[in-house]
């Protein structure tokens, strides 16, 4: 009788443990190989870009996604301006994560997820630029993308500075006008 109670007690503890700590979905990354022409046809964005920023993470149905911002130098598909942002899975190789290094240049293949965001992962076939010669040769010439942010920011700063000087000059003219008006008012004719 004690043996039956012991087995029953251990079984109940195991059942409670399984209920408290539910089973998590396991994922492992296994990738199908495709050539650059297939990737160009199937992916939403294909470009060469330097990683400018490693942003925050958002949750997705398969794990966390991290936002990366790129200065795009050349594009074959899906990119018309620079800088350009997309999301990459933020995990190790086992979860198909692809951590980009800030300052490094890559050939990036990105797909559009069901929610409309551009994403990439280990299976997308991203390559560090220095090792992308074979892919780049097969892709052919892309379109050069000009980074306009620096020019626009400089232009905007120039106008902002000009507005400050105009405001300062108007304030100075108003102060001189008030001083002259008071002196004139005090002086008898």
For residue 52, what are the contacts with CB-CB under 8 A and spacing of at least 6?
Answer: 69, 70, 71, 83, 102
Strand, helix or coil at 100? coil
| pLDDT tens digits for range 136-184 | 999 998 888 887 654 344 445 555 666 677 777 788 888 888 888 888 7
Domain boundaries, the chain: 36-144, 148-189
* Residue 102: partners with Cβ closer than 8 Å, 6 or more residues away: 51, 52, 53, 54
- Ordered alpha helix ranges (H), the chain: 2-20, 36-42, 133-139, 149-186
pTM above 0.85, yes or no: no
Q: Tell whether the model's pLDDT for residue 130 goes beyond 90.
A: yes
Query: What values do phi and psi take at 83, rounded to 5?
Result: -75, 160
Please tell me the distance from the alpha carbon of residue 7 to that of residue 54, in angstroms, as a whole number: 53
Q: Residues, the chain, total?
A: 189
CATH topology for 36-144 is OB fold (Dihydrolipoamide Acetyltransferase, E2P) (2.40.50)
State pLDDT tens for residues 6-61. Answer: 665 555 565 555 555 554 444 467 788 888 989 988 899 999 999 999 988 887 77
């Amino acid at each position: 009788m004690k043996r039956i109670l012991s087995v029953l007690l251990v079984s109940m503890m195991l059942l409670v443990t399984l209920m408290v700590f539910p089973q998590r979905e396991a994922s492992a990354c296994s990738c199908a190989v495709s050539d650059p022409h297939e990737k160009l046809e199937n992916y939403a964005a294909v470009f060469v870009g330097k990683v400018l920023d490693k942003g925050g993470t958002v949750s997705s149905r398969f794990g966390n996604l991290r936002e990366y911002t790129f200065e795009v130098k050349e594009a074959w598909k899906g990119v018309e301006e620079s800088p350009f942002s997309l999301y990459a899975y933020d995990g190790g190789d086992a979860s198909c994560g692809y951590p980009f290094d800030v300052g490094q240049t890559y050939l990036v293949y990105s797909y559009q997820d069901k929610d409309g965001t551009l994403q990439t992962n280990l299976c997308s076939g991203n390559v560090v630029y220095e090792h992308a010669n074979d892919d780049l040769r097969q892709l052919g010439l892309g379109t050069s993308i000009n980074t306009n942010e620096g020019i626009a920011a400089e232009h905007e700063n120039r106008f902002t500075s000009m507005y400050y000087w105009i405001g300062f000059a108007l304030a100075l003219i108003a102060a001189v006008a008030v001083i002259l008006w008071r002196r004139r008012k005090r002086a008898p004719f």
